[in-house]
Amino acid sequence: MRSIGRTTVTTDAGDGPGGPREVYVDCTAAGVRPTVARPVFEPGRVTIQYVAVGFAPWSAATIGFVEATGVNDEEKNRLCPSVVFSGDVADLARLAHSAMQGLVARVRDK
């Protein structure tokens, strides 16, 4: 995408029709910034981060709930594995796997 005008959308491949009643959403931004793998729960420390794909409020609420259970940090980290965004599309399967592992662990937990 090079530009969006009132009647034309200009891309590297050429111009296309546009219009004032059209809505354009730029999905090319990086989105979530890359992060480094770190346990959510460590002695004396809770690192708020994603434990579900793309839902920051849900992740924070999940971490708070699991923290309130009083189980040890190892068990809490099993229930809330970090979902790490690297910014590399090749890592999406690993990211999804981590999120699903946590979801399955929480669903199975009493």
Q: Is the pLDDT of residue 51 over 90?
A: yes
Model pLDDT, residue 87: 82
Whether residue 85 is predicted with pLDDT greater than 80 in this model: the reply is yes
The mean pLDDT of 72-101, rounded to a whole number, is 92
pLDDT band, residue 19 (cuts 50/70/90):
confident
Dihedrals φ, ψ of 17, to 5°?
Answer: -70, 145
The SS3 call for residue 15 is: strand
**Lookup: tokens for 88:** 């590399």
The H or E element that residue 42 is part of is: strand 41-42
